[in-house]
Amino acid sequence: MPVVLDWTHGAGAGEPVPCVICGKPAICRSPAGKPVHKVCAETWIEQRTANGRQAVA
């Protein structure tokens, strides 16, 4: 089942800066304040859990 993050509370936006995962410009900020695309974060979590590792948010 695909991971769908809910960033409606706690996430933000800012100037375009490189995404911490893909390196392309991102205006989204994770709830932790990191510049990241939501889809990049969801894919990252899916890959970690599919490999038997526990994701860290």
52 vs 50: CA distance, rounded Å? 5
Quickly count: other Cβ atoms within 10 Å of residue 13's Cβ.
10
Instruction: Give backbone dihedrals phi and psi of 49, rounded to 5 degrees, phi first.
Output: -75, -30
Assigned token pair, 47: 């890959």
Which residue range(s) make up the domain with 56?
A: 1-57
Higher pLDDT, 30 or 21: 21
Whether residue 23 is predicted with pLDDT greater than 90 in this model: the reply is: yes
Distances (CA, A) of 47 to 11, 17, 27, 31, 42: 22, 24, 23, 20, 9
How many separate domains does the chain show? 1
Q: Give this prediction's pTM.
A: 0.74
